[in-house]
């Protein structure tokens, strides 16, 4: 059976960022997964919500940052990035740090002695002393009971669509008030669909535009972190995950929720003047009617549409990772589906780490974004080195005691 010191499951921004740091620190790393695969599933025509700096994998500056990419490739990258540009950057990054990526699926991760055994979809195995799970949120789509009970031709989750071509000429109601709902509405409207957004909240929020940050001039970095998560002020708090994680839980939760409350990027607003947005309306019932669907809303109104699209986001629950051995999953201490992580994003199972969105309950909302890869990669390298030093020191003191 093949062996490695560290197995990184996932070749998205978090897995690649950690691989780069660990290898730079001289660690033996095997990285597994289809590079940037999650981003390929997103609808064509999408733009990144985070700005250029907040879309760097790992460090915000340096040769592998978005800045380094534009310098090295002469690619023209505006302050806001298209999905295609980000994928190109991710693959460029992967070529530089993990050209040996193992393009296989992990079908099982189980504990074996002091380490772990990974089983691949071709039946082969890999033994690893340490495992980093960086497999993203694709398994976590939030599908309310109403969606699950409706036929797929009439209702779906945004994650089910790589493009919205099939909705041309159709009437669509979109449930949600975040970037995903609003950007889907814009893309569908521009693609010739008749769209309405139905938002549960009494008001749809818009993120501040570049003007506000630019207006702060040279003081901008004091109030707005390059991670680009959260409003001015809060952005700074959540950009220090090691400090933020020590906040009392109620304060942590309030700030985290505020940092990622459903909102649309300011550049989306001008694309939606002809799209009705009905705020404060909950769909109370959805009933198929031939090849359409009848909706009753909490405000007493009703609609008949061709399709109901749920932009209802994702609920992290690591037990939904299909490859996680059940016994191992039970050993990972979790709260609300999130693993409780300590320094270095390590779970209650020694040498098993979780990166990306599953780390958000312990280290804050930045972990849900590409920008969080800057922190997770550094934190893991530090912890691995500290644990090695601890082991060497214990070994030395045992030898001294025996002598």
Ligand X SMILES: Cc1cc2nc3c(=O)[nH]c(=O)nc-3n(C[C@H](O)[C@H](O)[C@H](O)COP(=O)(O)OP(=O)(O)OC[C@H]3O[C@@H](n4cnc5c(N)ncnc54)[C@H](O)[C@@H]3O)c2cc1C
DSSP 45-63: T-EEEEESGGG-SS-SSST
Enumerate residues 6+ apart whose C-beta is below 8 A from 290: none
Where does this chain touch ligand X (CB under 6 A) — which range of 37-45, 214-222, 267-275, 293-301? 37-45
Token pair in block for residue 167: 């909705």
Q: How far is the CB of 389 from ligand X (least distance, A)?
A: 28
- Whole-number minimum distance, CB 386 to ligand X, in Å? 24
**Least Å from the CB of residue 156 to ligand X:** 14
Q: Pick from 7, 14, 324, 365 the residue near ligand X by CB under 6 A.
A: 14
Distance CA 204, CA 176 (A): 9
Q: What is the C-alpha to C-alpha distance for residues 179 and 348, in angstroms, rounded to an integer?
A: 34
Least distance CB 273 / ligand X (angstroms): 23
Q: Is 180 in the site for ligand X (CB under 6 A)?
A: yes
- Provide the mask over 350-379, with x wherever binding to ligand X is found by CB under 6 A and - wherever it is not: ------x------------xxx--------
Cα–Cα dist 64/362, whole Å: 27
Which residues, 48 to 87, sit near ligand X by CB under 6 A? 48-50
We find the least distance from the C-beta atom of residue 288 to ligand X, in angstroms, to be: 27
Is residue 10 near ligand X by the rule CB under 6 A?
yes
Q: Which residues contact 155 (CB under 8 A, 6 or more apart)?
A: 146, 147, 286, 293, 307, 308, 309, 310
- Choosing from 3, 5, 34, 190, the residue that interacts with ligand X (CB under 6 A) is 34
Beta-sheet pairing, 277-279 with 283-289: unpaired
Residue 12 or 115 with smaller CB distance to ligand X = 12
Contacts for 152 with CB less than 8 Å, ≥ 6 apart:
160
Phi, psi of 294 (to 5 degrees): -95, 130
Which part of the chain contacts ligand X (CB under 6 A), choosing from 26-34, 186-194, 289-297, 386-394?
26-34
- List the 155-157 sheet strands across, edge first: 155-157, 307-310, 171-175, 194-199, 277-279
Q: Which CB sits closer to ligand X, 13 or 264?
A: 13
Closest by alpha carbon to 377, among 3, 52, 10? 10
Q: Contact with ligand X (CB under 6 A): which of 105, 141, 278, 387?
A: 105
Closest approach, Cβ 271 to ligand X, in A, equals: 16
106 is a site residue for ligand X (CB under 6 A): yes
- Of 43-51, 148-156, 165-173, 205-213, which segment contacts ligand X by CB under 6 A? 43-51
Check residue 12 for interaction with ligand X (CB under 6 A).
Answer: yes
In the complex, least distance from residue 47 CB atom to ligand X, rounded to whole angstroms? 8
Which residue in the set 7, 18, 32, 381 belongs to the binding site for ligand X (CB under 6 A)? Answer: 32
Helices and strands: H and E segment counts in the chain? 14, 18
Distance CA 98, CA 219 (A): 37
Residue 344 sits in the site that holds ligand X (CB under 6 A): no
Strand pairing class (307-310; 80-82)? unpaired
Q: How far is the CB of 22 from ligand X (least distance, A)?
A: 15
- Angstrom CA distances, 248 to 140, 253, 257, stand at 27, 9, 14
Work out which of 323, 338, 374, 375 binds ligand X, going by CB under 6 A: 323
Query: In terms of DSSP H, where are the helices of 48-178?
Result: 66-73, 83-97, 145-149
Residues contacting ligand X: total by CB under 6 A: 30
Residue 134 near ligand X by CB under 6 A: yes
Buried b or exposed e, range 27-52, using 16+ CB within 10 angstroms: bebbbbbebbebbeebbeebbbbbbb
Rounded to the nearest whole angstrom, what is the least distance from the CB of residue 329 to ligand X in the complex? 14
Nearer to ligand X, 187 or 281 (CB): 187
Nearest to ligand X of 158, 193 (CB atom): 158
- Nearer to ligand X among residue 309 and residue 370 (C-beta): 370
- The answer to the question of residue 184 lying near ligand X (CB under 6 A) is no
- Report the interface residues with ligand X, using CB under 6 A: 9-15, 32-35, 37-38, 42, 48-50, 105-106, 134-138, 180, 323, 356, 369-371
């Amino acid at each position: 059976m093949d062996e490695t010191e560290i197995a990184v499951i996932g070749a998205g921004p978090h897995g690649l960022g950690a691989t780069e740091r660990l290898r730079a620190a001289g660690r033996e790393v095997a990285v597994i997964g289809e590079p940037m695969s999650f981003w390929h599933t997103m609808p064509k025509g999408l733009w990144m919500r985070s700005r250029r700096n907040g879309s760097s994998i790992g460090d915000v500056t340096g040769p592998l940052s978005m800045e380094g990419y534009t310098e090295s490739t002469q690619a023209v990258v505006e302050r806001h990035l298209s999905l295609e540009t980000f994928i190109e950057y991710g693959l460029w990054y992967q070529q530089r740090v993990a050209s040996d990526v193992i393009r296989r699926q992990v079908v099982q991760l189980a504990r074996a002695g002091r380490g772990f055994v990974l089983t691949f979809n071709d039946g082969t195995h890999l033994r690893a002393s340490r495992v980093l799970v960086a497999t993203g949120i694709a398994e976590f789509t939030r599908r309310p009971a109403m969606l699950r009970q409706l036929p797929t031709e009439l209702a779906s989750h945004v994650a089910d669509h790589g493009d919205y071509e099939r909705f041309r000429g159709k009437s669509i109601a979109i449930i949600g008030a975040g970037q995903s709902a609003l950007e889907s509405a814009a893309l569908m409207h521009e693609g010739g669909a008749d769209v309405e957004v139905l938002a549960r909240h009494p008001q749809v929020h818009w993120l501040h535009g570049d003007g506000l940050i630019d207006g702060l001039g040279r003081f901008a970095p004091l109030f707005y972190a390059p991670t680009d998560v959260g409003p001015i002020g809060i952005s700074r708090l959540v950009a220090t995950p090691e400090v933020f994680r020590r906040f009392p839980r109620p304060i942590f939760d309030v700030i985290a929720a505020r940092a990622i409350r459903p909102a649309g990027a300011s550049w989306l607003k001008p694309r939606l003047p002809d799209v009705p947005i009905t705020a404060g309306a909950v769909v109370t019932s959805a009933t198929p009617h031939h090849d359409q669907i009848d909706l009753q809303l909490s405000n007493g109104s009703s609609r008949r549409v061709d399709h109901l699209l749920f932009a209802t986001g994702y609920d992290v629950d690591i037990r939904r990772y299909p490859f996680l051995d059940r016994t191992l999953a039970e050993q990972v201490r979790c709260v609300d589906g999130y693993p409780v992580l300590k320094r270095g994003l390590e779970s209650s199972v020694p040498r098993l780490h979780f990166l990306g969105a599953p780390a958000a309950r312990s280290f804050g909302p930045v972990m849900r974004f590409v920008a969080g890869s800057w922190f997770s990669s550094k934190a893991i390298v530090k912890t691995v080195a500290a644990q090695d030093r601890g082991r060497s020191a214990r070994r030395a003191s045992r030898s001294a005691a025996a002598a």
